[in-house]
Structure 1
Amino acid sequence: MRVLGVDPGLTRCGLGVVDIAANRTASMVAVDVVGSSASMELPQRLLVISEAIEQWLERYQPDVLAVERVFSQTNVSTVMGVAQVSGIVMAAAARRGVSVAMHTPSEVKAAVTGNGRADKTAVTKMVTKILRLEQEPKPADAADALALAITHAWRSGPNSSADAPGQLTAARKLWLEAEAKARKNAEKAKQQWR
C-alpha cells in the first residue's frame, strides 16, 4: 500500500509518501514541506499548496491520502487555515479517485509512539526509527506527514481496530459525537423544511 500523508497548514504543509508491505514494514518514498508566505493573498497561498498536492498525486500515485483531521476548540484562526488546506487536499484526491482518510493528531501519536499525548520530538524519533532513516525528517511538519501515512497504513485493513469502542482516542470520540450531532441537526432541519 502506498500512502500520501499530508500535515495541512498554510505556512508549512508537510507531505510524506510511505510504502507499507504486507508485514507492516514501512519505507519512505518521499518527504517535503510546501510553504506559502503570509504576505501572499489567501487564494494565492492555497494555489501554491494545491499545485504541489496535484504534482505529488501525479508523481507518486498513492493508493490513499491520509490527512490530519481538523479539530480544535480554542485556536479558531489557525484551524481555519488548516481546514482550508485540508479541503483543497481532499478535493485534489477526489478528482483523481484517490481514497481519503482522516486521523486526529492524538490517533497519530498513539499509533506511532504508543502515547496519544506524545510531543513532536517523540513522534519524529519514532518515525525515524520506523522508517529506518539515517536522519530525522525536518521540520516537524515533514515528520508529521510521514506519521500520518504510517498511521493510516497500520490502522486500516481487515485487522484494523481503529474504530473499535475500546480503541477510540478522546479526540476521536469527541469528533464522532460532533458528527452524529451534526447529522441529527441536519435531519431535523430537513424535516422542518418539508
Structure 2
Amino acid sequence: MRVLGIDPGLQNMGWGVIETDGARLRHVANGIVHSGKGDLGVRLLRLCEGLRAVIAAHRPDAAAVEQTFVNKDAVGTLKLGQARGIALLAPAEAGLEIGEYAPNAVKKAVVGVGHAAKDQVQHMVRHQLPGVDFAGADAADALAIAICHAHHLQSRALRIKVSA
C-alpha cells in the first residue's frame, strides 16, 4: 500500500510517499510544494495543483494530513486552515481515504513520545526509511505523518483480522 503524508503550510506544503508491505516501510518520494507570493487564491491554487501532480505521479492508496493547531495569530491560523483545506481537498478529489492526526500523535507514533523535538522525529524517520534524503523539514514532517498513518492502518487491519 502507498501512503501519502501531507504537512500543510501556506508557503511550503510538505509531502512524502511511502510504501508498506506488512510491517516494512519503504521511502518512495518526498518534496515540497511552494505557493510563492501574491494573491491568496492564486497561492492556494498552486498548492492544489502541486498536490494533484504528486497524487497523479505516485498514485497513493491512502493519505494523511496533520491537524492544525491554533496559535496566537488569528490571521495566520486562518490562512494555515485554508492551506489545510487544500491538503484535504486534493486527496479527497482523487478518492483517497484520508487520516487526520494531531502533531503529538504523529510524534508519538514515530518517536514514542508526543513531545519529541523536530530533530528526534527526523532521526527516527531516517531510521525507519533508510537512505531517505529529505527535500526539507516540511517533507520530513510529511513522511512522519505517512508513517503514523501506515502504523494506524496496520493496527486497524490486525484488529479486523483478530475480530473475524
State TM-score, norm by structure 2. Answer: 0.89
User: Aligned pairs, how many?
Assistant: 157
Give the structure 1 partner of residue 103 of structure 2: 105
In the TM superposition, what whole-angstrom CA distance separates every residue of 1:128-187 from its partner, at most 9, and x where no partner exists? 11101254x242101000000000000122336xxxxxxxxxxxxxxxxxxxxxxxxxxx
Give the structure 2 partner of residue 17 of structure 1: 17
Q: Which has the higher strand share?
A: 2
Runs of 4+ in 1 over 3 A off after TM superposition: none
Shift of 1:78: 3.0
Whether contact under 8 Å (2:33, 2:51) holds in the other structure is no
Give the structure 2 partner of residue 174 of structure 1: none
Of 145, 150, 153, which aligns to 2:150? 153
In the TM superposition, what whole-angstrom CA distance separates every residue of 1:42-86 from its partner, at most 9, and x where no partner exists? 011101110011111111111111001122253433322221112
Answer with 139-148 or 88-97: which moved more: 88-97
State TM-score, norm by structure 1. Answer: 0.76
**Distance in structure 2 (CA, Å) of the matches to 1:79 and 1:139:** 22
Larger radius of gyration: 1
Give the structure 2 partner of residue 91 of structure 1: 89
Q: Would the alpha carbon gap of residues 101 and 10 (structure 1) be closer, same or farther in structure 2, given more than 3 Å must change? A: same
1:143 aligns to 2:136 (yes or no): no
Shift of 1:101: 0.8
Unaligned runs of 5+ in 1: 161-194
- Percent of residue pairs identical: 37
Q: Would the alpha carbon gap of residues 134 and 29 (structure 1) be closer, same or farther in structure 2, given more than 3 Å must change? A: closer
- If asked which structure has higher relative contact order (CA below 8 Å, sep 6+), I would say 2
Give the structure 2 partner of residue 30 of structure 1: 29
Unaligned runs of 5+ in 2: 160-164
Q: Would the alpha carbon gap of residues 126 and 51 (structure 1) be closer, same or farther in structure 2, given more than 3 Å must change? A: same
In the TM superposition, what whole-angstrom CA distance separates every residue of 1:88-147 from its partner, at most 9, and x where no partner exists? 222222222111110010000000001100111111111011101254x24210100000
1:48 aligns to 2:46 (yes or no): yes
Give the structure 2 partner of residue 185 of structure 1: none
